Structure 1
Amino acid sequence: MFFKKKTPSTEQSEACESASAEQPAPEMPGYLQELRDRITAQDLPAMVRETAQLEWERLTGMDRSAPESGISINYLEFLLSLPWKAVTRDNLDLNRAATILKSRHLGLDAIHERILEFLAVKTLIGRQRPTILVVDDEEIARTNLAYVLEKDGYDVSMAQNGLEAVYYMDKQPADIVITDLKMERMDGIQLLGTIRKQWPDTSVIMITGYATVDTAVTALQKGADHYLSKPVNLTKLREQVRTLMEARERASHLHGPVLCFTGPPGTGKTSIGRAIAEALERKFVRFSLAGLKDEAELRGHRRTYVGAMAGRILLEIQKVGVRNPVIMLDEMDKTIQDFRGDAVSVFLEVLDPEQNASFVDHYLDIPFDLSQVMFIATANMAENLPAPLLDRMEVIEFSSYTYREKEAIARQFLVPAQLKRHGLTTQDVRLTDEGVRSLIRGYTREAGLRGLERKIADVCRKIARQRVDRQEADSNVPVVLDEERIIALLGAPLFTQTRALSAPRVGMATGLVWTATGGEIIFVEVARMKGSKQLLLTGSLGDVLRESAQAALSYLRSNAAMYHIDPGFFDVSDIHIHLPSGGVSKDGPSAGVTIFVALLSLLTGRAVRQDVAVSGELTLLGDVLPVGGIREKVLAASQAGIRQLVFPRKNKAEIEALDADVVQDLEIVLADEVGEFAKVALVQEGS
C-alpha cells in the first residue's frame, strides 16, 4: 500500500478547503432577495415570468459595481411595475354617460351621439355570456365538466356525440367546444373537421382516454387548439378555457374604433376625450406629439445605449397602473416627418388592431398587449396625416361654434369657471348679453373657445385688482359688464367684423373660404388696363389659388361668345386680380367661381350683388366641383350680413345636415355649372 506524502503546500491547501467548507454561503443582497420575491409573488404571464427569472439569474452572477448591474436592476424594476393584467372595469351606463357628455359640452350633439353609439355596442357585447359546448358519450364526464364550467360563469350546453353537437352548433354556435375523441356515429376528429369548415372562429379542446403522440399530433394538425388526456386535470382545463376566452375577448376589441378628432383649435377635442374616459370610468392619459420626430420617444431605446429607457406609451401605462386606459394622442398632425425620423410610422403598428396585441417596445423587448387601450387621436388638419394612418382611424370632425353657441357656453361654463378661479362670484360680477357679444365679436376671431376664455380671464383679473385696490365705491355692488365696461377694461376692440358692402359693384365679387380658425368672407377685385396679355395676381396667393384664377380666365376666353364678350379682350389688355389683406396668405380651390364672377362682371359691365356670396371650384369646361368647410362658410356669411349663398349642388348633403340656427335668415341656392352662379350673383340687366 502506498501513501502520498503530504508536502507543506498540500497541507495548507487542504486546510484552506476545510475552512471554506465550514464557512456558510454568503448571504444574498437584500435587493436581489426583494426582486426574487416580487417575481414569485406577482401574477405574471408565462413569458414575462420566464424573462424576469432569466434576467434575475443573470443579475446574480454580476459584480455589484459593474454598470451592467444597475441596467439590469432598472430593467427588472420596470418590467415588474407594468400592469400586465390589471384593468379597470368599464361603466356602460348610457344614461350616466349622456349626462356627463351634456354637462361638459354644448353644441356637440353629433359627437355625443357617436360616443353613445360606441358605448351601446360595448354594452351589448358585455351582456353576452361566453358559451361552451361539452361533447362526450359518457354522461358522468360531460355532467361533471358542465358543473365545473358553469361555476366559472360560462353558459354550458351538452351533447353526447358529434352529430348532436353539429345540431346544437347550427342553432347557436358556441365559443368553445370541448369534445371527446372516441364517440359513436361521429368521433371527435370528424367533428373537428366539420367545425373548422363551418365555424372557423370556434375554439376546440380535444379530450381522450386513449392519449398517444400520434392522436395528439393528428388533432393539432386538424386544427384543435388544445389536447388533454383523461382523467382530465380540471385546473389545466379551466386555465386553457380562460386563455381561449381572453383571446376571443381581445379579438372583439380588435374591431373597436380608433377615433380621430379633427377640427380647429379650441373646439373641445381634448375635453371630449377626457369626458369619454370619465364616462367609462377609465384612466385618462394625454400626451402631445407636436414636434416629435424621434421614433425612440414612442418605442423606447434598446438597452445597449447608456441611459436607455422605455417609450412614452409604456411609461404612461406604467404611471396609470392599468393596461386599458384611454390614451389621447394630441396634435398628431404636427409630428415631424423628415429624413431624421418618422415617429408617425410607429402608430401604424400601435393603432392597427391586428398588431397592437403584441406591441414590442425596444427597451422592454417582449410583447405588451395594447389591444384593450382606447386610443383617441386629435389633429387640426386630417389631410396632413399619412393615408395609411388615416385608414386605421375613424375621423370625427369638430366644427366651428356659432355665435349663439359661444354665448351659451360663455354663460354656462366659461364665466362661472373663471370667476371661481379668480376669487369672484356671480354676486360680484354680472355679465350682460351685450357684454358677452362684445367679447366674442370684438376681441376674438376663432373657431373654438380658447381666446374667449382668455379674454374672460383677463376681465376677471382686472376686476379682482380693482377690488383689492378698493377702487370700487361699494364692494357689495356687483360689477355690471356691459359693452361699455368691457371696452373700458380691455381697450378698443381688436377685431372689426368684415361686412358685406351694400351697393352692387362692378368687378368685385364676394366669396367664402375656410381657414384654420373657421370661415371667412373674401372680396375678389379685378381690373383691366392696356397691356400685353399679362395676368397679374396679388394678395399673397398660393399656387392652387393662382391656378384657379388662370382657369377662370381661360374659361372666359374660350367661351367669350356665349357671354357676349369681345373674343379679343385679352389681346391688348392686362388683367389684374387682387384679394385684399395682402398680409394674410391665401390658398385653396374654393375661390375659382368667385374669380369668374368678378371677371364676368368686369368684362360685361354688370354689377355684382354684394349681399350674395359664392363658393365653388371651377373647371375649364365650366363645371363646378364641391368644396369643403360648408358649415364654417355659412357661419361666416351670416355674421358678415350676407343674405344669399350659392354652393355647388354636389354639396347638397352637407347643406341639408346643417342645424336650423346655422342657416337661419339665409337663402341657399345650389347650382351645377358656373353660369347659374353668375345669374344669381350679377344684377339682372334693366334692373
Structure 2
Amino acid sequence: MNKFEPVVFDKSILEEYNVPKEIPIMPLRNTVLFPQQIIPLYIGRVHSLRLLNDIMKENKIFVVVAQKDISIENPREEDLYQYGTLAKIVKVFTMPDKSRSVIVQGLERVEIHKITKMDPYYHGIVQRLQESEEDSIESVAIRERLKESFKDIVDMSDYLSKDNVTMMMNSVDDGNLADVVVSMLNISVEEKQHILEQFNINKRLAETAIILAQELEKAKIGEKIIADVKDNINKNQREYYLREQMKAIRKELGEDEDERIIDLKKKLEDAQLPEEAAKAADREIERLKRMSKQSPEYNVSLTYLELLTELPWSVSTADEIDLANATKILDEDHYGLDKIKLRILEYLAVRKLKLKNDPNSAVKGPILCFVGPPGTGKTSVAKSIAHAMDRNIHRMSLGVVRDEAEIRGHRRTYIGAMPGRIIQGIKKAGSNNPVFILDEIDKLGADYKGDPSSALLEVLDPEQNYSFSDHYLETPFDLSNVMFIATANWAETIPGPLRDRMELINFSGYTLPEKTHIAEKFLIPKQVEEHGLTKKDITFTENGVQTIIQNYTREAGVRSLEREIAHVARKVAKIKVETTRFRKKSITEKTVSKYLGRQKFYSDRAERMKRPGIAIGLAWTQVGGDILFIETTKMPGEGKLQLTGQLGDVMKESAQAAL
C-alpha cells in the first residue's frame, strides 16, 4: 500500500515543532516517508517495538528517519540522515511472532538537530521545516514536463500502472506532486532522501524532473535491449531447434556431449590459457565432440585436455626477496659456506632490483649449478633459496635419465604417451615460477633413444625457454619465470654446451671444526628427536663428536657422520627400552667404541714419520684429501725405475723426478 491523503491532524501540535523540541525517533531501513504519504511498516527491532508501545498508549506523534546503512542493527547518530518526517500511527497489527505491522502517515518535514538518547528507544531534538515557493513560468513548465515524463515512464515500465498516473494527477500542490512522483519510482533511498531534503518547492520540482529524465532514459534503453533480445531470439530459434535435433541424434548414437566435456570447457576458461594454447584446446574439444566414446582416441584426447586444465598457465607466487630474511634462513639451515651464501645473496639482490625496475618483466638470470662432493649441502641450499623467496619447489633427479623423451615428453601418437618430466614438475609445483632443482645433472646419460642433455639446452637457455616445446603438449609453455638450480658432484662430466649455460658454484668439503659444529647444531638434535629421545637421555661431548668424525667417517660431507650419530641414537634407544632404571648416556671419546664398535679408519702418520726412507705425498679428490706415505729402499742397479699398476701421468712423472 502506497497512497497520499490530506493530513487530518491538530495543527497546533504541529506548530509546537516550529522551534526545536525533543521527540521519539524511529530509524527505518530502506524506506523514506514523505508528508501525506501512507505506507505500512514492519516493526521487528526491540527499540522500535518499545517506541510503538509508548506511542499507542498516549497517541503521540514521532519522527521517522532513514538510516544510511541498512546492515546496522543499532545505528548511531552519524548513521542516520539529518532530515526526517513527522508521522502519526493510522493502524497497528500484531503478528504471530510478536512483531508489529503498523500503517503510518507522514505529516511534515523536520530537521534532526541532535540525538539525545538511544535507550529504551531513540529521542532527538527536531525542528519543523518551512517550505518556500516562487511562482514563475519556469516552475509551471517544469511541472507540466514532469507530468508528461511520468506518463511516458508508466507506459514503458512494468512496475507502474495507470492508477499511479491518477494518484499523481490528484496531487494537491507542486510540493506534493514531487513527493508523490518520487515515492512511486523504483530508485535508491539516497535519491528519495535527496528529494525529502528539498524544502524549496521549485528546487524540489527541478531535482525530481532530473531524476525522471534519467529514469526515462533507462526505460528507453531497457525497451531497446528487450527488442534486440526478441529479434535475436527469433533469429536463434531456428538454430536452437536444429541443434536440439542434432543433440537428439547424437544421443541416440551414444555420441552426445557428456558432462566431462562441459566440465573441461569450464576448467579451460578458468585456467586462462595463452592464445596459442587456447586455440589448441578448442581444436581438441571440437575433435573430442565428434569422437565416439568407444574410440581409443577418445581417452587420449580427454587426458590431454585434462593436462591443459591442470597446468599453472597463469598461476604464480609473488616473490618475497628480503636479503636480511634470506641471510637468516641460510644461516639457520647451513653452517659455513660463506662464499656460497654471499654469491646467492648477490643473485637475489640482482633479481630484486630487476623486479623493482620492471615488475612485469621476466627476470633473466644465470642458471646456478652447485658442484661439490656428496653431503656438502647442495640440494638443501637450493631448498633454502626457495624458502627465502617464498616460492614453490620441485626436485627432479637426473641420475637415471637416459631417454630424451624423459625431458621433452612422448608424442601423443604413441600408446601410453605422457608429458616430459619438466612439464610434469611444473604441474606438481602448482605455479609457473617455482624453484626447479635439477639434481645430479652430471649423471645424465645417453643411449640409442637420444641425448637428454641436448633436450636440456633449451630448458636452461633464458633466450629460448620462454617458449619451451614439449612433444606431448604440442604448444609452447613459458619457463622464463622458473628458477632452475642444478647440482652435480663433478663438473667435468657435464657436457660442454650444457655447462656453458650455467654458472658453476663450487662446494668444498667441510673441515673438522665445521663438521663438529654442524653435528652439534643440526645433526645431533635431529637424530635425537627422530629416535624418540630427549636431551635428558643422551649428550655428545665435543671430543666424542670429533672421535666419530676422525675414526668412523672418511668423507667431505656429513652424510656418513649423520648415519653414525643415528647408529649411536638407536643403541641408546634400545638400552632405554630394555632398562627399568635408565641413566643419561654421555658419548665421549672413550665411550664411542662401545656404541660404534671397532675403529674404521686409522692415522699412521706418527708411526710412519719415525722411520727413515719414507717420503710424504699429498693426494686430493673432490671427496676429500689425504697424506700418502711413499716408502723407498736403496739397492744396487742401473738406475732404471719400472712402474706398474694404474698410475696416472703425474704420479709417474713424480716418481721419475724423485729418482
Query: TM-score by structure 1 length?
Result: 0.57
Q: Aligned-pair distance for 1:427?
A: 1.2
Match of 1:403 in 2: 512
- Tell me how far apart the structure 1 counterparts of residues 552 and 449 of structure 2 sit (CA, whole Å): 41
Is residue 260 of structure 2 the alignment partner of residue 31 of structure 1?
A: yes
Is residue 451 of structure 2 the alignment partner of residue 346 of structure 1?
A: no
Is residue 581 of structure 2 the alignment partner of residue 479 of structure 1?
A: no
Q: Aligned-pair distance for 1:31?
A: 0.9
Is residue 383 of structure 2 the alignment partner of residue 274 of structure 1?
A: yes
Distance of aligned partners of 1:527 and 1:386 in 2 relative to their CA distance in 1, 3 Å threshold: farther
> What value does the CA root-mean-square deviation take over the aligned residues?
2.3
Once the two structures are superposed, the pairs formed by residues 73-84 of structure 1 within 5 Å of their partners are 73-84=302-313
Distance of aligned partners of 1:522 and 1:354 in 2 relative to their CA distance in 1, 3 Å threshold: same
Q: 21-30 or 359-368: which moved more?
A: 21-30
Match of 2:563 in 1: 454
Q: Contact 2:319/2:389 (CA < 8 Å) preserved in 1?
A: yes
- Tell me how far apart the structure 2 counterparts of residues 345 and 296 of structure 1 sit (CA, whole Å): 11
- Tell me how far apart the structure 2 counterparts of residues 72 and 331 of structure 1 sit (CA, whole Å): 34
Q: Aligned-pair distance for 1:288?
A: 1.1
Is residue 268 of structure 2 the alignment partner of residue 60 of structure 1?
A: no
Distance of aligned partners of 1:347 and 1:519 in 2 relative to their CA distance in 1, 3 Å threshold: same
- Tell me how far apart the structure 2 counterparts of residues 20 and 382 of structure 1 sit (CA, whole Å): 67
Is residue 543 of structure 2 the alignment partner of residue 434 of structure 1?
A: yes
What do residues 162-209 of structure 1 show as CA deviations (whole Å, max 9, x unaligned)? Answer: xxxxxxxxxxxxxxxxxxxxxxxxxxxxxxxxxxxxxxxxxxxxxxxx
Is residue 607 of structure 2 the alignment partner of residue 505 of structure 1?
A: no
Q: Contact 2:336/2:514 (CA < 8 Å) preserved in 1?
A: yes
- Tell me how far apart the structure 1 counterparts of residues 451 and 372 of structure 2 sit (CA, whole Å): 23
Q: Aligned-pair distance for 1:527?
A: 5.0
What do residues 435-456 of structure 1 show as CA deviations (whole Å, max 9, x unaligned)? Answer: 1111111110000000000000
Q: Contact 1:267/1:449 (CA < 8 Å) preserved in 2?
A: yes
What do residues 514-556 of structure 1 show as CA deviations (whole Å, max 9, x unaligned)? Answer: 1242011112345565667754224x434xx2x3355x3xxxx
| Aligned with residue 488 of structure 1, among 571, 576, 594 | 594
Q: Aligned-pair distance for 1:497?
A: 2.3
Question: Unpaired runs of 5+ in structure 2?
Answer: 1-241
The structure with the larger Rg is: 2
Give secondary structure in 2 for the equivalent of 1:354. coil
Give secondary structure in 2 for the equivalent of 1:425. coil
Distance of aligned partners of 1:343 and 1:469 in 2 relative to their CA distance in 1, 3 Å threshold: same
Match of 1:293 in 2: 402
Q: Contact 2:615/2:629 (CA < 8 Å) preserved in 1?
A: yes
Give secondary structure in 1 for the equivalent of 2:643. strand
Give secondary structure in 1 for the equivalent of 2:492. helix
Distance of aligned partners of 1:440 and 1:85 in 2 relative to their CA distance in 1, 3 Å threshold: same
Distance of aligned partners of 1:106 and 1:71 in 2 relative to their CA distance in 1, 3 Å threshold: same
| Aligned with residue 524 of structure 1, among 626, 630, 654 | 630
Distance of aligned partners of 1:56 and 1:282 in 2 relative to their CA distance in 1, 3 Å threshold: same
| Aligned with residue 425 of structure 1, among 531, 534, 545 | 534
Give secondary structure in 1 for the equivalent of 2:485. strand
Match of 1:390 in 2: 499
Distance of aligned partners of 1:355 and 1:528 in 2 relative to their CA distance in 1, 3 Å threshold: farther
Q: 515-524 or 397-406: which moved more?
A: 515-524
- Tell me how far apart the structure 2 counterparts of residues 421 and 413 of structure 1 sit (CA, whole Å): 12
Q: Aligned-pair distance for 1:40?
A: 3.1
Once the two structures are superposed, the pairs formed by residues 499-648 of structure 1 within 5 Å of their partners are 499=605, 501-503=608-610, 505-506=612-613, 508-526=614-632, 535-538=641-644, 540-542=645-647, 545=648, 547-550=649-652, 552=653, 592=654, 595=655, 598-599=658-659
Q: Contact 1:323/1:372 (CA < 8 Å) preserved in 2?
A: yes
Identity of aligned residues (%): 47
Q: Contact 1:525/1:598 (CA < 8 Å) preserved in 2?
A: no
Distance of aligned partners of 1:42 and 1:400 in 2 relative to their CA distance in 1, 3 Å threshold: closer
- Tell me how far apart the structure 2 counterparts of residues 60 and 385 of structure 1 sit (CA, whole Å): 47
- Tell me how far apart the structure 1 counterparts of residues 369 and 280 of structure 2 sit (CA, whole Å): 36
Is residue 275 of structure 2 the alignment partner of residue 46 of structure 1?
A: yes
Distance of aligned partners of 1:528 and 1:361 in 2 relative to their CA distance in 1, 3 Å threshold: farther
Once the two structures are superposed, the pairs formed by residues 58-207 of structure 1 within 5 Å of their partners are 58-128=287-357
Distance of aligned partners of 1:597 and 1:499 in 2 relative to their CA distance in 1, 3 Å threshold: farther
Distance of aligned partners of 1:70 and 1:102 in 2 relative to their CA distance in 1, 3 Å threshold: same
Distance of aligned partners of 1:420 and 1:502 in 2 relative to their CA distance in 1, 3 Å threshold: same
Distance of aligned partners of 1:596 and 1:525 in 2 relative to their CA distance in 1, 3 Å threshold: farther
Q: Aligned-pair distance for 1:28?
A: 2.2
| Aligned with residue 313 of structure 1, among 407, 410, 422 | 422
- Tell me how far apart the structure 1 counterparts of residues 316 and 245 of structure 2 sit (CA, whole Å): 51
Q: Contact 2:407/2:456 (CA < 8 Å) preserved in 1?
A: no
Match of 1:469 in 2: 578
Q: Aligned-pair distance for 1:513?
A: 1.6
Distance of aligned partners of 1:343 and 1:527 in 2 relative to their CA distance in 1, 3 Å threshold: farther
Q: Aligned-pair distance for 1:346?
A: 1.3
- Tell me how far apart the structure 2 counterparts of residues 304 and 428 of structure 1 sit (CA, whole Å): 62
Distance of aligned partners of 1:461 and 1:90 in 2 relative to their CA distance in 1, 3 Å threshold: same
Q: Contact 2:391/2:434 (CA < 8 Å) preserved in 1?
A: yes
Q: Contact 1:111/1:396 (CA < 8 Å) preserved in 2?
A: yes
Distance of aligned partners of 1:531 and 1:265 in 2 relative to their CA distance in 1, 3 Å threshold: same
Distance of aligned partners of 1:126 and 1:505 in 2 relative to their CA distance in 1, 3 Å threshold: same
Q: Aligned-pair distance for 1:503?
A: 3.9
AA aligned to 1:489 is Y
Match of 2:228 in 1: none
Distance of aligned partners of 1:22 and 1:82 in 2 relative to their CA distance in 1, 3 Å threshold: closer
Paired residues, number: 412
- Tell me how far apart the structure 2 counterparts of residues 278 and 527 of structure 1 sit (CA, whole Å): 60
- Tell me how far apart the structure 2 counterparts of residues 375 and 325 of structure 1 sit (CA, whole Å): 8
- Tell me how far apart the structure 2 counterparts of residues 331 and 111 of structure 1 sit (CA, whole Å): 19
AA aligned to 1:93 is D
AA aligned to 1:97 is A
- Tell me how far apart the structure 2 counterparts of residues 453 and 23 of structure 1 sit (CA, whole Å): 69
Distance of aligned partners of 1:54 and 1:428 in 2 relative to their CA distance in 1, 3 Å threshold: same
Give secondary structure in 2 for the equivalent of 1:483. coil
Q: Contact 2:271/2:313 (CA < 8 Å) preserved in 1?
A: no
- Tell me how far apart the structure 2 counterparts of residues 362 and 78 of structure 1 sit (CA, whole Å): 13
What do residues 198-221 of structure 1 show as CA deviations (whole Å, max 9, x unaligned)? Answer: xxxxxxxxxxxxxxxxxxxxxxxx
Match of 1:226 in 2: none
Distance of aligned partners of 1:498 and 1:278 in 2 relative to their CA distance in 1, 3 Å threshold: farther
AA aligned to 1:441 is Q
Q: 22-31 or 447-456: which moved more?
A: 22-31
Q: Aligned-pair distance for 1:39?
A: 2.5
- Tell me how far apart the structure 1 counterparts of residues 247 and 288 of structure 2 sit (CA, whole Å): 27
- Tell me how far apart the structure 2 counterparts of residues 512 and 459 of structure 1 sit (CA, whole Å): 33
Query: TM-score by structure 2 length?
Result: 0.60
What do residues 33-61 of structure 1 show as CA deviations (whole Å, max 9, x unaligned)? Answer: 11122223431111111110000000100
Q: Aligned-pair distance for 1:25?
A: 6.7
Once the two structures are superposed, the pairs formed by residues 336-375 of structure 1 within 5 Å of their partners are 336-375=445-484
- Tell me how far apart the structure 1 counterparts of residues 509 and 271 of structure 2 sit (CA, whole Å): 50
AA aligned to 2:612 is R
- Tell me how far apart the structure 2 counterparts of residues 481 and 38 of structure 1 sit (CA, whole Å): 59
Distance of aligned partners of 1:478 and 1:47 in 2 relative to their CA distance in 1, 3 Å threshold: same
- Tell me how far apart the structure 1 counterparts of residues 367 and 427 of structure 2 sit (CA, whole Å): 21
Question: Unpaired runs of 5+ in structure 1?
Answer: 1-16, 131-245, 553-591, 600-687
- Tell me how far apart the structure 2 counterparts of residues 25 and 339 of structure 1 sit (CA, whole Å): 47
AA aligned to 2:643 is L
